[in-house]
Copies of this chain bind each other. A is one copy, B any other.
Amino acid sequence: MKDIEFKILENREIARDVFRMVLDGDTSEITAPGQFVNISLPGRYLRRPISICDWSKNKLTLIYKVVGHGTEDMSYMETGEYLRALMPLGNGYDIAAAPENPVVAGGGVGVPPLYALTRKLVEAGKHPYVALGFNSKEDVFYEDEFRALGVPVNVATVDGSYGKKGFVTDLIGDHSYAFSCGPLPMLKAVYSRVQDGQFSFEARMGCGFGACMGCSTRTKDGYKRICKDGPVLSWKEIVW
């Protein structure tokens, strides 16, 4: 874990209130998709946790939705400005544990970390099937980017304005293994339809690196810190 200064290469709206930020800086410590960074913002006391959407050498992509003061501040940042983030944080997804044909199921701003996950799954020779859910047409993002990875992608919207009308779960049916990230009700729904898998959770965080117990949640294997022992928990240990 390092506190790294990144330079903003790009920061633009890619869907309603959803921004993609591309950063230049040291990404060498990232070990797995599903890890996150914790962003320091001037005037905000706590850092903001945002999943790593994708990375390469010295390049980091984040996708965030403006939902409050901090993400609003971020949306005003401009190319060339600097931003500090503590990273990489969390365990990330375990690709080795995946079967040949996992489903990758994401909803809303749960979608970003699944992009690098899918890329890594493909690179590892697996054949993931991607199911993405959004509220409405204007909220959809990254469908093409997922497709460009050469995997089957389906999209659902709650209001039916794009893709299939309904939820992510309507796209996947029952399945043996899922990678998932998204709002709690979605995670629950996916959980109930699979026999195994890995689920990424959110929690209000004090530190983001395991020191404060601010994000400790009960699991079947005792308490786990979402920030350090998670954010990815395995199907078997989750208690709802």
Minimum CB–CB distance from A210 to chain B (whole Å) comes to: 28
When distances are taken between beta carbons in the complex, the residues of chain B under 8 Å from A43 are: 42-43
Copies of this protein in the complex: 2
A window 26-45: CB within 8 A of B: 42-43
Minimum CB–CB distance from A133 to chain B (whole Å) comes to: 39
Give the number of residues in A that approach B within 8 Å (Cβ atoms): 2
Interface residues of A (CB under 8 A from B): 42-43
A42 to B76, CA, bound (A): 15
A43 to B43, CA, bound (A): 6
3 interchain pairs, CB-CB under 8 A: A42-B42, A42-B43, A43-B43
When distances are taken between beta carbons in the complex, the residues of chain B under 8 Å from A42 are: 42-43
A42 to B41, CA, bound (A): 12
A43 to B44, CA, bound (A): 10
A43 to B42, CA, bound (A): 8
A43 to B73, CA, bound (A): 14
Minimum CB–CB distance from A42 to chain B (whole Å) comes to: 6
